């Protein structure tokens, strides 16, 4: 077992983990943060996407020990004081989710793209940038629209 300390959604969490423990299992089973989902185990679907130090990673292919000393943000860390994050609002307003299973990963991936300054004004840009996250329900059109709306809003309020 290895002792690690990960700052998850702003709170330092110390745990003992097996060296082979995946970050997604650590988040879900050790820390009880089940908002992050597992869809494929092979980094294909993106349901397990979280942020490490602000950048998106697929937590099914990161070991928990690799997150030692770093900051992890999960879907549970977005809404503040009962107010949904602009991305969450945009997904709701644009019907960007159906079964909701890919949604946490989609939102975390989108957040990383927005924060990294990826061009998202054009729908084609969003579609290409989102290639690593699969959705089987929506046909993506409303996800693309949700991200476009949220990116526009977040960037204009950031520059205001």
Which of 67, 147 has the CB closer to another protein? Answer: 147
Stated length of the chain: 160
Which of 34, 69 has the CB closer to another protein? Answer: 34
Residues that bind another protein (CB under 8 A): 18, 20, 25, 28-29, 33-42, 44-45, 47, 74-76, 78-79, 84, 88, 91-93, 95, 97-104, 107, 123, 126-128, 130-144
Q: How far apart are CA 159 and CA 5, in angstroms?
A: 35
- Parallel/antiparallel/unpaired status of strands 2-8 and 11-17: antiparallel
Across 71-160, the runs of DSSP E, i.e. the strands, are 71-73
Which of 28, 149 has the CB closer to another protein? Answer: 28
Which of 9, 67 has the CB closer to another protein? Answer: 9
Alpha-carbon Rg for the chain, nearest whole angstrom, is: 15
Q: How far is the CB of 58 from another protein (least distance, A)?
A: 12
Q: Which of 68, 22, 17, 65 is nearest to 42 (CA)?
A: 22
Q: How far is the CB of 26 from another protein (least distance, A)?
A: 12
Q: How far is the CB of 159 from another protein (least distance, A)?
A: 26
Output phi, psi for 83, to 5 deg.
-105, 130
């Amino acid at each position: 077992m290895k002792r690690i300390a990960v700052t998850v959604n702003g709170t330092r969490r110390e745990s003992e983990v097996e060296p082979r423990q995946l970050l997604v299992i650590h988040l879900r089973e050790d820390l009880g943060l089940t908002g992050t989902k597992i869809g494929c185990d092979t980094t294909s679907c993106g349901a397990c996407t979280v942020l490490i130090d602000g950048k998106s990673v697929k937590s099914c292919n990161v070991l928990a020990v690799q997150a030692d000393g770093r900051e992890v943000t999960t879907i549970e860390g977005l809404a503040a004081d009962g107010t949904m994050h602009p991305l969450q609002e945009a997904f709701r307003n644009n019907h960007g989710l159906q079964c909701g299973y890919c949604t946490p990963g989609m939102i975390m991936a989108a957040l990383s793209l927005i924060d990294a300054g990826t061009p998202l004004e054009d729908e084609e840009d969003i579609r290409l940038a989102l290639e690593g996250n699969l959705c089987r329900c929506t046909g993506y059109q409303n996800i693309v629209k949700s991200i476009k709306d949220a990116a526009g809003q977040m960037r204009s309020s950031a520059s205001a």
